[in-house]
Amino acid sequence: SPSDPDLVERARAAKEKLGDKVFVLGHHYQRDEVIQFADVTGDSFKLAREAAARPQAEYIVFCGVHFMAESADILTGDDQKVVLPDLAAGCSMADMATAEQVAECWDVLTEAGIADRVVPVSYMNSSADIKAFTGRHGGTICTSSNAKRALDWAFEQGEQVLFLPDQHLGRNTAVRDMGMSLEDCVVYNPHKPNGGLTADELRAAKMILWRGHCSVHGRFSLDSVNDVRERIPGINVLVHPECRHEVVAAADYVGSTEYIIKALEAAPAGSKWAIGTELNLVRRLANRFAPEGKEVVFLDKAVCFCSTMNRIDLPHLVWALESLAEGNLVNRIEVDKETEEYAKLALERMLALP
């Protein structure tokens, strides 16, 4: 949708007034009307690094979702303030692992006698509490762009991995990138006693996958892949690793949002691409690459926005920027000190991965 010219002008003016005091980060799934005001765009990993690299900015306005803003707060200085333009911009996947559930899971692993050889690896898409749990138990954070390196590292520290909260990223990385088999993976269901697993099953698994998933990427199916290959012969199928295993197994290429953009930049004119990720990004890429003769289509027939990413719209951004320009600190995301200490440990292990 075209952005309201009055709001565009107000956002521009507020940002100009703030000058170097504000730095705006935008995730690739953000709306066009918002992303135009981002000083830097990126995938989760790039945005975490960018946040950490801006010590001169008093305000980091994070156009993305809650877990990303929390991670930015953890990685920035105490005097820097991270602002999320709409506090309701959460992530349903991150909500699938609560601190209580994960503590209970660790008790189950302890009772099965394996807690001392299990290393937790948590996807960036998790709350600060889960990141702190991960740091406390010697684990690391990963994103979709470094999951293999994180798992390689984890298997140097221990013999088994507890992967939270996205079962698909965990399974896809283990099977597709690391040569494990589907039988090496078990799924821990936090809604069942003992995760729905016996102690023997827990002991035998290499990967203990938390039963979480992304509702946006979960909608792509093997049928979507087969249909698009039939409709558009010669098409390349490129999907995000949050997609289900059978979708990833049938795709030609798999990677993070930043990887998807780079792949299209490097693609030859005349090539055709079906993309399995969020729709704001896919539409933007379709428009950007059409003049170069690269055809980009959405992998599924149904529309598939991330509703929480979409909560950050131009009115919310204008409100946040104008409030900051008037000296009102609104919608600050601030992780408490103790959580921050351990979550930072886990995030820094990720940033130090080779």
Nearest residue (CB) to ligand 13P, 173 versus 257 = 257
Q: Which listed residue (30, 71, 125, 134) binds ligand 13P by CB under 6 A?
A: 125
> Does 347 interact with ligand 13P (rule: CB under 6 A)?
no
Measured from the CB of residue 293, what is the shortest distance to ligand 13P in angstroms? 26
> Does 309 interact with ligand SF4 (rule: CB under 6 A)?
yes
Q: Give the N- to C-terminal CA distance of the chain in Å, as an integer.
A: 41
> Does 256 interact with ligand 13P (rule: CB under 6 A)?
yes
Measured from the CB of residue 107, what is the shortest distance to ligand 13P in angstroms? 29
> Does 93 interact with ligand SF4 (rule: CB under 6 A)?
yes
> Does 299 interact with ligand SF4 (rule: CB under 6 A)?
no
Q: Which listed residue (33, 43, 50, 278) binds ligand SF4 by CB under 6 A?
A: 278
Cβ–Cβ < 8 Å for 135, 129 = no
Pairwise CA distance, residues 150 & 247, whole Å: 23
Measured from the CB of residue 100, what is the shortest distance to ligand 13P in angstroms? 23
Measured from the CB of residue 30, what is the shortest distance to ligand 13P in angstroms? 11
Query: What residue 308 binds from ligand 13P, ligand SF4, none (CB within 5 to 8 A, per partner kind)?
Result: ligand SF4
Cβ–Cβ < 8 Å for 309, 64 = yes
215 is in an annotated binding site: no
Pairwise CA distance, residues 133 & 234, whole Å: 46
Nearest residue (CB) to ligand SF4, 258 versus 322 = 258
Pairwise CA distance, residues 348 & 112, whole Å: 30
Pairwise CA distance, residues 130 & 121, whole Å: 10
Query: What residue 44 binds from ligand SF4, ligand 13P, none (CB within 5 to 8 A, per partner kind)?
Result: ligand 13P
> Does 214 interact with ligand SF4 (rule: CB under 6 A)?
yes
Query: What residue 101 binds from ligand SF4, ligand 13P, none (CB within 5 to 8 A, per partner kind)?
Result: none
Cβ–Cβ < 8 Å for 141, 346 = yes
Nearest residue (CB) to ligand 13P, 87 versus 330 = 87
Q: Which listed residue (306, 312, 314, 325) binds ligand SF4 by CB under 6 A?
A: 306
> Does 279 interact with ligand SF4 (rule: CB under 6 A)?
no
Q: Which listed residue (76, 126, 127, 143) binds ligand 13P by CB under 6 A?
A: 143
> Does 172 interact with ligand 13P (rule: CB under 6 A)?
no
The token pair at 125 is 């898409």
Q: How many residues bind ligand SF4 (CB under 6 A)?
A: 13
Residues within the interface to ligand 13P (CB under 6 A)? 28, 43-45, 125, 143-144, 214, 242, 256-257
Residues within the interface to ligand SF4 (CB under 6 A)? 65, 91-93, 125, 214-216, 242, 278, 306, 308-309
